[in-house]
Structure formats: C-alpha cells, structure tokens
C-alpha cells in the first residue's frame, strides 16, 4: 500500500526516508573506506569480474562488510521502531530517537569505523601473475 507512505509527510519523511537512509548510510561508509582507505583508489578491474579473484572473499561475500553493515544499522533500529510504531514502542529513549534523526550519518560513521578497523588486518594481497605464463599464478 504505497499510498500509506504518502498519507502524511510525517510518515513519508520520518519513517520511510530516514529508515531507508539508515540502510544506505552504512553501505556508503563501507564503500568509501574500502575504496579510499583500504584500496587507496587502486582497483584491478579484471579481478572484479573473476569468481575466484582477489575481491571474491568467501563464496562471493565479504563477511567483514556484512558485519560492518549490521553493526552500522543496529543503533538506528530502536528509533526506527519508535517512528514506525510509537504505540508499540513508547519506551524508546530520547537518545535513540536522536540517533535515528541522524540515521544516515550515524550508520555511515559506525559502519566505516568497524569496516576500517577489521579490514586493516584482512586485506588480501594483489595476485601476482606469472609473466612467462599468465595462466599460472606467481
């Protein structure tokens, strides 16, 4: 029922838009830290498209990024529940309501910090290609 989102500006702005930004902020934080701080803006474009390339991680998922995403979303959940269902969650503290007001920034900051700290120790080295036979590593 998308018309329920547009029924009032309060529901659309403070529930849908901020709730959506609570998910996008952590994603932006992870992408920014990975590209600028971890990879130093250097990507191997060919490796991006290989199933077993240096960016494939475990079964195609970077578990550290998943952890950072979840941790980045967590502080915003109480405020989202209060904004969405104030009658069901009346006891949500004012701190969580304030955090939810800045959901994108909070999510970006928390996820970026978690991802940066955990990935500093787990960056995979570049794959060295054997120049004599490019099909063989090292």
The pLDDT of residue 130 is above 50: no
In angstroms, the CA 29 to CA 109 distance is 6
pLDDT tens for 77-112 read: 999 999 888 899 999 999 999 999 999 999 999 999
More confident residue, 83 or 6: 83
- Say which DSSP state 58 is in: B
pTM: 0.79
The pLDDT of residue 69 is above 90: yes
Confidence (pLDDT) at 10: 65
- Say how many CA atoms lie within 13 Å of 33 toward its Cβ: 24
In angstroms, the CA 35 to CA 13 distance is 31
Percentage of the chain exceeding pLDDT 90: 54
Q: Helix axis angle, 103-120 relative to 63-73, nearest 10°?
A: 150
């Amino acid at each position: 029922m998308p018309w329920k989102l547009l029924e009032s500006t309060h529901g659309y702005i403070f529930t849908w838009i901020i709730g959506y930004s609570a998910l996008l902020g952590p994603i932006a934080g992870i992408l920014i830290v990975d590209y600028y701080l971890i990879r130093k803006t250097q990507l191997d474009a060919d490796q991006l498209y290989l199933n077993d390339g240096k960016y494939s991680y475990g079964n195609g998922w970077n578990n550290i990024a998943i952890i950072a995403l979840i941790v980045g979303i967590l502080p915003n959940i109480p405020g989202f529940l209060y904004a969405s269902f104030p009658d069901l969650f009346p006891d949500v503290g004012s701190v969580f309501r304030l955090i939810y007001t800045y959901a994108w920034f909070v999510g970006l900051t928390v996820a970026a910090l978690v991802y940066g700290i955990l990935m500093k120790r787990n960056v995979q080295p570049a794959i060295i290609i054997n120049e004599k036979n490019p099909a063989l590593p090292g």
